[in-house]
Amino acid sequence: MVAAAFYWIGRPERPLVSRPASELSFVGSQTCGECHATQAKLWQASQHRHAMEHATNQSVKADFNDAVFDYAGTRSRFFRKDGGFFVETDGPDGKLSAFEVKYTFGVDPLQQYLIAFPDGRIQALSIAWDTRPKDQGGQRWFHLYPDAAVTSSDPLHWTKPSQNWNFMCAECHSTAVRKNYDPATDHFTTTFSEISVGCEACHGAGSRHVAWARGDRGAAGSAKDPVKHLVVKFDERSGITWSAEAGTLTPVRSAPAVALRKEVETCGRCHARRGQLSEEWTPGRPLSETHRVSLLEPQLFSADGQMRDDEETYNYAPFKQSKMFAKGVTCSDCHDPHSAALKTPGDGVCSQCHPPARYESTAHRHHADVSPPLSCASCHMPERRYMVIDRRHDHGFRVPRPDVSVQTGVPNACNDCHRDKPASWAADKVESWFGQERRGFQTYAQAFGAAWIEAADAQALLAAIARAGEVPGIVRASALAELPAPDVELIRRALSDPDPLVRLGALDALERMPADQLWSLASAQLVDPVRGVRIRAADLLASVPRAQQPTADRDRFARAAAEFIAAQRLNADRAEARTALGNFYARQADAAAAETEYRAALKLDPFFAAAAVNLSDLYRQLGRDADGERILREQLSRSAQDASLHHALGLALARQKRTEAALDELRQAAVLDPGQTRYAYVYAVGLHSAGRRDDALSVLNESLRTHPDDVELLSAAISFSRQKGDTRAALEYAERLARLRPDDSSLAELIRELNR
């Protein structure tokens, strides 16, 4: 087979799949512009932030006149040759090579450059051009990881999967993308209908609408069709007005918001942190139909739901947490959907609903002496920085809560400016202005803060959030997913929630349930109306043997399982997807298929530790511990600082009775990742089994200093202290555990015994 992936890039061919003639097809923005000239021009003009274009003298903004840039010991040179644009930099092998720039990516405030490889991969160079004016610090080359030293041996290097356009970028920066990855040859033949974002990227394929507009009654049906044969009609705002509620000045929507926000779900396709499950996306459908949306997790969000610096969380999740969304605001209430600009400049967009006389007053803002004056966004939409220089507003529309910062350490808008002051100072100021009642709409920082430090009250706090009907769906889903222990009745109710995100969170909560209890709880979701929920249910239920599946449900499981497998096959170019498929086959007791997928994952990404750990565990189940050890050692030669690999290797060595070597690996895991209490617990158990009781207790106490409410650590400390004969210490640990488990009768009896 000839690998001609690049041949297809940039050409307007349809995907290499045969389609019925009657099926919708893409017509291109030029055709749309025949009728919608104004919208098309606005949209074309708005492409300055995310446009993808061929590299030409007009599109390239950077200095390619033998400019040089030094980073991590490599001097990269940018130059022109034979009318093309080239960069000489470190390639996949770490050696200097010249690469031709084929595409530009974005314009404002930075522009990246894409390089095509013979196997169809398009890779985004990590050295970007700052397009801002020079007096703003721009007109320079800079690296997207300035505080690191990313070389060819690093997973973040520009030649690695993390910087791959076909998977990471294409869906949102081009129209009608079909990735077309062939795992047999490890080649891409990616196609799109338009190189950049066109009309149909949001409105869906337009052939039927064009036929309707041209009066082709045979193809398009009645000319009186109210939706004009569009895939979706964004009419949520039609006839809607906002007016101030008498006596409160609170804006009220003239009609209740519909449950499914077609606009928000459509915008979320690109403005959400998510993974793709299917390329058969339809505008206006729940995003969970074709994508798995990231919930609130500590790597991406603060405990109160604010997006973190330098983490691409986008604004779907923050907006869905907001009071604005809860009251019915949609994206186009504030933004023109075709130009992406605000409906009116500055605070004018807020004063469409919020009376300026009240909210622009000194009594509200308390910053009369600040120049330039603060805007609404300054306090209610704090900026966070991405890709070094790209500043974006958090769309959570939250009340500044420095008092919550004092309690949980989350950031707040006050201290974003007053960095020289503590959060307590800001909290006192806010209280002096507005009084003690500063609840705001987002009230879940304490719950997620407790969960993320494994505090004793995390279960109760998260359960309360998950039960609260007024809490945003994405937050309730996140609370369910974070529950330390499954709450069966709460999960049952959540599985029938109208919000698919909540149903997904409930399925995540079942991950910790025994396999023999799963079917009765989760099998109904195998026929859920939303594909993402069906896929998650199939993944969860894969561990239930076919013989234990009710006969009436077997076909349902098979169909949902096929959807799960198809989603992973779509992403077969990613180690994550191949590992997920390996896990699925392992739960299905198909060891050969699981091994194939894990090995494929490691071939795609030799740095992906999860594949090595899972493959090693598969070998353990097959009685092949020596093979498991070999896999882990090979992986450690590339990723020596990965705690999960050291932990897995320690367990493998322990099973082989190589105690000292095992303890050394378990120790390294506990040291490398002190936040993972399981590593400390297992290391302590290993030390205790080797007769080193004092060392074991020392490890437990060290971990308990930062995780004082960890039940597993406390239970081990009780047991080890009793065996050592230290009744006083055992009693102290038992009393600490009793505060976490006040209804545990066996623990109460133990305390009475220790007291005697």
Tell me the sheet residues that pair with 85. 80, 101
Q: Residue 305 above 50 pLDDT? A: yes
The average pLDDT across 460-468 equals 96
For residue 4, CA distances in Å to 8, 12, 118 come to: 7, 16, 7
Average pLDDT, integer, range 389-398? 94
Strands 274-276 and 291-293: antiparallel
- For residue 393 the two structure tokens come to 């507003």
Encode pLDDT of 694-726 as tens digits: 999 999 999 999 999 899 999 999 999 999 999
pLDDT confidence bin for 234, thresholds 50/70/90:
very high
Contact by Cβ (8 Å): 594, 617: no
**pLDDT in the model for residue 311:** 78
pLDDT over 80 at 687, yes or no? yes
Q: What is the per-residue pLDDT across 372-390, written as a single tens digit (0 to 9) for each? A: 889 999 999 999 999 999 9
How many CA atoms are closer than 13 Å to the CA of 193, on its beta-carbon side?
A: 19
> What residue type is 529 in one-letter code?
P
Rounded Cα distance, 648 and 360, in Å: 59
Asked whether residue 222 carries a pLDDT value surpassing 60, the answer given is: no
Sign for the pseudo-dihedral over CA of 265, 269, 271, 276: positive
The predicted-structure confidence for 511-568, as pLDDT tens digits, reads as follows: 989 888 999 999 999 999 999 999 999 999 999 998 899 999 999 999 999 999 999 9
- Banded model confidence at residue 51, pLDDT cuts 50, 70, 90: confident
The C-alpha atoms of residue 616 and residue 482 are separated, in whole angstroms, by: 27
Average pLDDT over residues 386-415: 94
Is it the case that residue 310 has pLDDT exceeding 80? no
Closest alpha carbon to 398 in 385, 386, 420, 416: 416
340 burial via Cβ count (<10 Å: 0-12, 13-18, 19+)? middle
| DSSP β-ladder status, 110-116 and 122-124 | antiparallel
Task: Map residue 291 onto helix, strand or coil.
Answer: strand
Helix boundaries (H) for 288-340: 316-320, 323-327, 331-334
589: left (phi over 0), alpha (psi -120 to 50) or beta: left
Cα Rg of the chain, angstroms: 28
Q: Percentage of the chain surpassing pLDDT 70?
A: 94
Question: 10 Å Cβ neighbour count for 734?
Answer: 22
Mean pLDDT of 4-21: 30
Classified as helix, coil or strand, 112 is: strand
Grade residue 9 by pLDDT with cuts at 50, 70 and 90. Answer: very low
pLDDT, tens only, 144-174:
999 999 999 999 999 999 999 999 999 999 9
pLDDT at 358 over 70: yes
CB 151 within 8 A of CB 44: no
Strands (E) located in 283-397:
291-293, 383-386, 390-393
C-alpha distances in Å from residue 246, one per residue of 661, 668, 717: 74, 64, 61
Task: Identify the H or E element spanning 123.
Answer: strand 122-124
Can you spell out the DSSP letters for 38-94?
Answer: HHHHHHHHGGGTT-EEE--TTT--S--SSEEEEETTEEEEEEEETTEEEEEEE-TTS
Mean pLDDT of 65-71: 97
C-alpha 291/C-alpha 307 separation (Å) is 20
What per-residue confidence (pLDDT) applies to 4?
27
CB 480 within 8 A of CB 453: no
Quickly state the pLDDT bin for 50 (edges 50, 70, 90).
Answer: low
Mean predicted confidence (pLDDT) in 653-660: 95
Least confident of 349-363, 400-414, 569-583: 349-363
pLDDT of residue 221: 53
Of 474, 54, 421, 521, give the one whose Cα is nearest residue 301. 474
**Cβ neighbours of residue 437 closer than 8 Å, sequence gap 6 or more:** none
For residue 48, pLDDT over 60 is answered with no
- Give the bridge partners for 359, in sequence order: none
Distance CA 139, CA 135 (A): 9
CA nearest neighbour of 71 among 129, 164, 141, 156: 141
Question: Torsions phi, psi of 503, nearest 5?
Answer: -65, -40
Q: How far apart are CA 296 and CA 286, in angstroms?
A: 18
pLDDT at 218: 55
What confidence tier does 339 reach under pLDDT thresholds 50, 70, 90?
confident
**What does DSSP say about strands 96-105 and 74-81: parallel, antiparallel, or unpaired?**
unpaired
DSSP bridge partners of 181: 188
pLDDT at 54 exceeding the cut of 60: yes
Q: What is the pLDDT of residue 22?
A: 45
Structure tokens at 353: 């609903």
CB-based contact 534:525 (threshold 8 Å): yes
Q: What is the mean pLDDT of residues 192-203?
A: 92
Q: Residue with structure tokens 């895939």?
A: 231
Q: From CA 332, how far away is CA 325, in angstroms rounded?
A: 12
> Which of residues 15 and 437 earns the better pLDDT score?
437
The pLDDT, as a whole number, for residue 32 is 87
Least confident of 232-241, 290-299, 468-477: 232-241
Distance CA 609, CA 579 (A): 10
Q: Are 710 and 454 in contact, with CB atoms under 8 Å apart?
A: yes
Side chain identity at 660, as an amino acid letter? E
Distance from the Cα of residue 369 to its chain's centroid: 40
Element of type H or E holding 669:
helix 659-672
Q: What is the DSSP letter of 323?
A: H
**Cα–Cα distance for residue pair 578/606, rounded to 1 Å:** 13
Q: What is the pLDDT of residue 21?
A: 37
What pLDDT shows up at residue 1? Answer: 29
Tens digit of pLDDT for each residue in 600-646? 999 999 999 999 999 999 999 999 999 999 999 999 999 999 999 99
The per-residue pLDDT for 621 is 95
Q: Which two tokens stand for residue 520?
A: 């009765």
Share of the chain above pLDDT 90, in %: 78
- pLDDT the model gives residue 16: 28
Per-residue model confidence (pLDDT) at position 6: 25
The pLDDT of residue 146: 95
Instruction: Say how far apart CA 535 and CA 467 lie, in whole Å.
Output: 25
Please report how the helices 659-672 and 677-689 are oriented relative to each other, as an axis angle in degrees rounded to 10: 150
Q: How many CA within 13 A on the CB side of residue 360? A: 12
Q: Three-class SS of residue 277?
A: coil
- Amino acid identity of residue 136, one-letter, is Q
Q: What is the 3-state secondary structure (H, E, C) of 174-230?
A: CECCECCEECCCCEECCECCECCCCCHHHHCCCHHHHHHHCCCHHHHCCCCCCCCCC
675, 608, 673: which is closest to 647 by C-alpha? 673
| pLDDT band (50, 70, 90) for residue 203 | very high
For 250-261, what is each residue's pLDDT tens digit?
888 999 988 899
Give residue 437's pLDDT band: very low, low, confident or very high (50, 70, 90): confident
Instruction: Give the tokens for residue 659.
Output: 């105690």
Orientation angle between helical segments 458-467 and 473-482, nearest 10 degrees: 150
Mean pLDDT of the chain: 91
Q: What is the pLDDT of residues 135-152, one digit of tens each?
A: 999 999 999 999 999 999
pLDDT in tens, 473-488: 999 999 999 999 999 9
Say how far apart CA 729 and CA 707 lie, in whole Å.
18
Q: What is the pLDDT of residues 122-139, one digit of tens each?
A: 999 999 999 999 999 999
Q: Which residues contact 226 (CB under 8 A, 6 or more apart)?
A: 233
How large is the average pLDDT for residues 240-263? 85
pLDDT of residue 271: 94
